[in-house]
Amino acid sequence: MIGFINLYDEETEVFFGIGVNPEYCSQGYGQQITKIAHLISNELFPHKPMYLEVRTWNIRAVKCYEKAGFHIVGEPIKQTTSLGEGEFYHMVRE
User: Any idea what DSSP says for residue 82?
Assistant: T
**Integer Cα distance of 31 and 2 in angstroms:** 12
Q: pLDDT for 37-56, tens place per residue?
A: 999 999 999 999 999 999 99
Q: pLDDT for 55-80, tens place per residue?
A: 999 999 999 999 999 999 999 999 99
In this predicted structure, what is the pLDDT of residue 65? 92
Whether the per-residue pLDDT at 83 is higher than 90: the answer is no
The reported pTM is 0.87
In this predicted structure, what is the pLDDT of residue 84? 86
Question: In the beta sheet, which residues pair with residue 94?
Answer: none
3-state secondary structure of 56: coil
Strands 71-81 and 50-55: unpaired
Residue pair 10/32 in contact by the 8 Å Cβ criterion: no
Ordered domains of the chain (ranges, CATH): 3-93 (3.40.630.30)
